Structure 1
């Protein structure tokens, strides 16, 4: 009888222990599953280091390692890296409150073919709209200040502000290139019939009063406002073609005078 009681007691304890252990496993699994994507509100996370100095600190050591972000995404993009602010109350309307680096498949800001990928840096503006300051296309092209589906913007080099925002590229410094091709209209209109060629006496009077050619900005204005290469080349070409017309007129006059002189000589022989 006593042996039966002891056996029953051992069986009960075994069952109770088993049930308790199973319950602990279930609770632990539930907690782990529920907390698998969160971390404590304080402290840092280190990968490759036991003393992380930032919220997320990665130490690759002497090896070539990095971070891979990949997915099939949706119809627009493969993956995004998003930088945002929690409270946007103080963000001015019409300015960015979210910046993104987007590995895209739709060429939204680049006009890239839909079956090719692009890397597009853009921002979402508070109140709606986008700006896209930097875009890399699949053919190797780099787009600065894209206007496709985005607000127009300018590119500044060596400066942070512009006096004249009509310039798409504003450089504080020298520019060197092997060749610059500027779109221009030319000045063929000078040779059109009916062109009003100024009298040289009028040009002389204008230069005497203003100290620069008519139709050409003054040196002070050029220093203050600058001047477009296309416009400047057209105006200079206009002046060169006017000089050609003056030279043609002078040659006609010289030929006429030489003929008159030759006739006078014949009469005096």
Structure 2
């Protein structure tokens, strides 16, 4: 019997350690009140709470599918945090991020996955490609793999560029049944030769109940943010419907991914 109950811990950020100057979002390594280090994703950065929502939903779906993802937690940032920060850009980011943010457990000593150095087996590659087709994750390329090797295992990070339909909220029904064109650039596509069997297994895992339990994790205050005049409850329903529709019609993106893979040969 499936356990669809999902919960996240909440920590309070105690110390800003160092920025991770990747892209324009400026995530940071920070220490929380539980004594652990986290990669902190700020609500005041780049794409704002939409990146945090995509990170949360994408990461927890990956975990539900048995893929390795660092623990995701909610991270509270106090208004007085960062007042002693000398870098004005970082100080502005911290001020804009007071309240509830998102963080991932910091994998000390992990190294960036390099496809030249490490070969991933066909089953695992197929699982990750399937996941990214579902999420429409455009950010798992040779240029930026967003995967880490830690204790000789592959870990997935940074799903903030997923679910890009929510940047416009237009024609989401149509977008839910589209193939994922960017799969052609996926770093693991050449190894993803078991997409059909992966599809059958993952569709059985990602029931509407499980998807709803993950979408329900998104805080109302994140859903209320943004310029769209859409109530939080309606946005939450759209996220669930988008994912359930995409899962139900997964043969569309699976066929496209298989075709893209064959074109690389």
TM-score between the two structures when normalised by the length of structure 2: 0.19
More helix by share: 2
Greater RCO (CA < 8 Å, at least 6 residues apart) = 2
